């Protein structure tokens, strides 16, 4: 056995993030860890990597007990970690990021040429395509992910911990990543993989450990289990399968006609003649590899960036290049694609976070004075209704797990009862329980006769929820399908810039 964690407990105050967790990893094994948001997966790995100290319990590497006090020791022991939130230096080049803290030197000088060469070689060896001289911050997430893995490999790690590596990747990138991981195992590495996606577990892992509320609820061999059993272990119940009942479509709520947007900086065309409509009682999905204009489309619809041409009509009124407030008043609600950047103020409490976009409603203010009592009651009810796990509504948002924050944002936007909802990546990085819940809510909204535009890089999500699907590629709409006609295959080809004819 390469590595073993025995009876690890980690307490934050009175709260046990990990409770008597035992875990082992064999050589050339891929061992997955699954569990709901906040189950304690990241915490466990942080202790293995020396970023936290266990309250009790022991860590054995190659049978020897080790005291891993800081990441340096972990790195020396051959343990590397790719963090859930990337640990990159955006202004540095990819090569500089990879060799960081192990830089090749020429005398006192940083031998950047050698670094680039070494990184290029390393990337080649493991079959990862990157350009070492690109600026890391400008690279797409998929590439950044590779940079993180290369960094770990460069440090000579034998054990590689990956914390939710696929949450931010496009399906294609996920495929590539999984191929790379198999490659790594062949070359003698061992891998711990944290993920929320059970299909990935089934596809690639040898064993899987399930955590719930800080405790291990099972360690299974993937051959002998199935996704249903795993989800039961994770959430403690059977998951429902939400059907999409066919209902009558109503009037056009959102109508986008021939819009165009160009980058102020580079003059590049970001949106090119995009036209689409969303009607009442309909979920329209936008599929596409991220970075193909989806973000710009969101900004154009929501008023966060101006379009150069074309028109946006919402609920019967022309909303082209209006302010966010005007558009929201006209009937928009919006689950943003990045919950930390757009969707929340981390340091503010749940009340403040929940009130955004609602605070000006007559129900919550009079002559500019907030009705705090009503507001607090409303927030408390919403938190309960949407099952947001928190100690109190006065906690600041940063202490919610990702999934719970996402539920809070969904609650905020769905409860507004607007005729139109724009849902961008509504379940990114969210556990399966929460995902099920959010999907239910979207469908319910549609069934109530509202219009929903769903933008997601998760094909399964698009396919499960959309009445109609559009595919975006390089700022253009390159295809449209009905619910029945859409398939993963057809979409994938268009998403990659191919042609269906």
Partner 1 sequence: MESLFDLSLINSTLRMMAPLLLAGLGGAICSRVGVFNVGLDGLMLMGAFLGVAANAYTHNVWLAILIAVIGTTIFSALYAYMTINLQANMIVTGIAINFLSIGITTFALRTIFDVQGAYYNNEMQGLPTWEIPVIDQIPLLGNLLSGQSPIVYLGILCTIVMYFFFKKSVAGSHFDAVGINPIAAKSQGIKVKRIQYQAVLISGVLCALAGAQLSLGQVTMFSENMTAGRGFIALVATMLGQSNPIGVFLSSGLFGFTEAISIRLQGLNVPTNFTLMLPYVITILAMFIFKDKTQLSALKNSAGSSR
Partner 2 sequence: MNKLKTNATVFIQPLLAVIVGLLVGTIAIMLSGESVIVTYQEMWDGAFGNLYFLTNTLERAIPIILAGLGVAFAFRAGFFNLGAEGQLVMGAVTTAIVTVYLPFQGLLNMVISIIAGMLIAGLYSFLAGWMEQRFQINLLISTLLLNYIAVLFAGYLVSEPFRDTSSAGGVPQTVMVDEASRLPKLLTGMNLHYGFVIAIILAIVIAFIMKRTTFGYEVRMLGQNVFFAQYGGINRKKIMFTSLLISGMLAGLAGSVEVLGIHYRFIEGALSNPQFAWTGLMAALLANSNPIGTTVVAIFLAALDTGSLGVERNTDVPNSISGIIQAVLILFISAKFTMNFLNQRKKEGK
Ligand X SMILES: Nc1ncnc2c1ncn2[C@@H]1O[C@H](COP(=O)(O)OP(=O)(O)OP(=O)(O)O)[C@@H](O)[C@H]1O
CB neighbour class for 269 (10 Å; exposed up to 12, middle 13-18, buried from 19): middle
Contact status: 53 vs ligand X (CB under 6 A): no
Give me the phi and psi of 272, to 5 degrees please: -125, 100
Find the shortest distance in angstroms from Cβ 108 to partner 1. 6
**152 half-sphere exposure, CB direction, 13 A CA radius:** 30
Q: Closest CB to partner 2 among 230 and 355?
A: 355
Mark residues 380-409: x for contact with partner 2 by CB under 8 A, - for none.
Answer: -----------x------------------
Measured at the CA of 268, the angle between CA 318 and CA 328, to 5 degrees, comes to: 25
Which stretch, 9-17, 61-69, 207-215, 257-265, contacts partner 2 (CB under 8 A)? 9-17
Among ligand X, partner 2, Mg ion, none, the one that 342 touches (CB under a kind-dependent 5 to 8 A) is partner 2
Contact status: 401 vs ligand X (CB under 6 A): yes
Hey, what are 398's tokens? Answer: 């940063």
Give the whole-angstrom CA distance, residue 213 versus residue 92.
38
Contact status: 43 vs ligand X (CB under 6 A): yes
351 Cβ contact partners less than 8 Å away, ≥ 6 residues apart: 375, 376, 379, 393, 394
Give the whole-angstrom CA distance, residue 258 versus residue 46.
49
Q: Closest CB to Mg ion among 259 and 344?
A: 344
Among partner 1, partner 2, Mg ion, none, the one that 402 touches (CB under a kind-dependent 5 to 8 A) is Mg ion
Candidate residues 171, 285, 303, 402; the one interacting with ligand X per rule CB under 6 A: 402
**Total length of the chain:** 501
Which residue reads 């009876």 in tokens?
A: 7
Give me the phi and psi of 420, to 5 degrees please: -130, 135
Find the shortest distance in angstroms from Cβ 160 to Mg ion. 16
Among partner 1, Mg ion, partner 2, none, the one that 105 touches (CB under a kind-dependent 5 to 8 A) is partner 1
Print the SS3 string covering 191-250: EEEECCCHHHHHHHCCEEEEEECCEEEEEEEHHHCCHHHHHHHHHCCCCCCCCCCCCCCC
Among Mg ion, partner 1, partner 2, none, the one that 328 touches (CB under a kind-dependent 5 to 8 A) is partner 2
Which residue reads 């099972």 in tokens?
A: 218
Looking at residue 102, what DSSP letter applies? S
Candidate residues 302, 382, 418, 441; the one interacting with partner 2 per rule CB under 8 A: 302
Least Cα distance to 327 among 450, 426, 421, 425 occurs for 421
Residues that bind Mg ion (CB under 5 A): 42, 84, 402, 429
Q: Closest CB to ligand X among 242 and 396?
A: 396
Interacting positions 77-136 with ligand X (CB under 6 A): 84-85
Mark residues 349-368: x for contact with partner 2 by CB under 8 A, - for none.
Answer: ---x--xxx-xx----x--x
Contact status: 40 vs ligand X (CB under 6 A): yes
Residues that bind partner 1 (CB under 8 A): 49, 51, 70-72, 75, 81, 83, 86-92, 96, 100-101, 103, 105, 108-110, 347
Q: Closest CB to partner 1 among 1 and 87?
A: 87
Interface with ligand X by CB under 6 A: which residues?
12, 15, 17, 35, 37-43, 84-85, 398-403, 429, 431
């Amino acid at each position: 056995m390469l590595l073993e964690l025995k009876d690890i407990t980690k307490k934050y105050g009175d709260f046990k993030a990990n409770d008597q967790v035992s875990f082992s990893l064999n050589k050339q094994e891929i061992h997955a860890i699954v569990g709901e948001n906040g189950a304690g997966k990241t915490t466990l790995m942080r202790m293995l990597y020396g970023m936290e100290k266990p309250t009790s319990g022991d860590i054995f590497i190659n049978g020897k007990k080790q005291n891993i006090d800081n990441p340096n020791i972990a790195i020396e022991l051959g343990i590397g970690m790719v963090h859930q939130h990337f640990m990159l230096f955006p202004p540095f080049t990819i090569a500089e990021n990879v060799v960081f803290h192990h830089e090749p030197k020429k005398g006192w000088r940083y031998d950047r040429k050698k670094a680039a060469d070494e990184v290029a070689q390393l990337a080649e060896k493991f079959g990862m395509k990157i350009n070492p001289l690109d600026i890391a911050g400008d690279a797409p997430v998929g590439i950044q992910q590779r940079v993180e893995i290369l960094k770990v490999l460069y440090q000579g790690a034998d054990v590689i911990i990956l914390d939710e590596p696929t949450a931010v990747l496009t399906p294609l990138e996920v495929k590539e990543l999984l191929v790379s991981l198999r490659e790594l195992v062949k070359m003698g590495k061992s891998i711990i993989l944290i993920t929320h996606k059970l299909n990935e577990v089934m596809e690639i892992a040898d064993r899987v450990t399930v955590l719930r509320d800080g405790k291990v609820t099972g360690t299974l061999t993937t051959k002998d289990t199935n996704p249903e059993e795993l989800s039961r272990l994770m959430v403690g119940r059977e998951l429902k399968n939400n059907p999409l009942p066919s209902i009558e479509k109503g009037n056009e709520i959102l109508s986008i006609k021939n819009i165009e947007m160009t980058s102020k900086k580079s003059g590049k065309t970001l949106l090119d003649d995009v036209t689409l409509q969303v009607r009442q009682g309909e979920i329209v999905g936008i599929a596409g590899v991220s970075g193909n204009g989806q973000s710009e489309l969101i900004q154009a619809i929501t008023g966060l960036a101006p379009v150069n041409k074309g028109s946006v009509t919402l609920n019967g009124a022309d909303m082209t290049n209006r302010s966010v407030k005007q558009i929201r008043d006209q009937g928009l609600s919006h689950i943003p694609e990045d919950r930390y950047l757009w969707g929340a103020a981390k340091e503010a409490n749940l009340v403040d976070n929940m009130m955004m976009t609602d605070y000006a409603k007559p129900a919550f203010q009079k002559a500019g004075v907030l009705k705090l009592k009503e507001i607090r009651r409303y927030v408390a009810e919403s938190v309960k209704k949407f099952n947001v796990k928190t100690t109190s509504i006065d906690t600041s948002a940063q202490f919610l797990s990702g999934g719970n924050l996402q539920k809070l944002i969904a609650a905020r936007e769905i409860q507004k009862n607007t005729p139109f909802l724009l849902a961008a990546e509504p379940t990114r990085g969210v556990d399966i329980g929460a995902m099920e819940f959010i999907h239910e809510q979207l469908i319910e909204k549609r069934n109530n006769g509202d219009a929903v535009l769903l933008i997601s890089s998760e094909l399964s999500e698009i396919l499960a929820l959309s009445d109609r699907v559009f595919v975006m590629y390089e700022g253009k709409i390159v295809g449209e399908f009905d619910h029945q006609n859409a398939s993963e295959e057809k979409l994938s080809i268009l998403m990659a810039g191919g042609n269906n004819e």
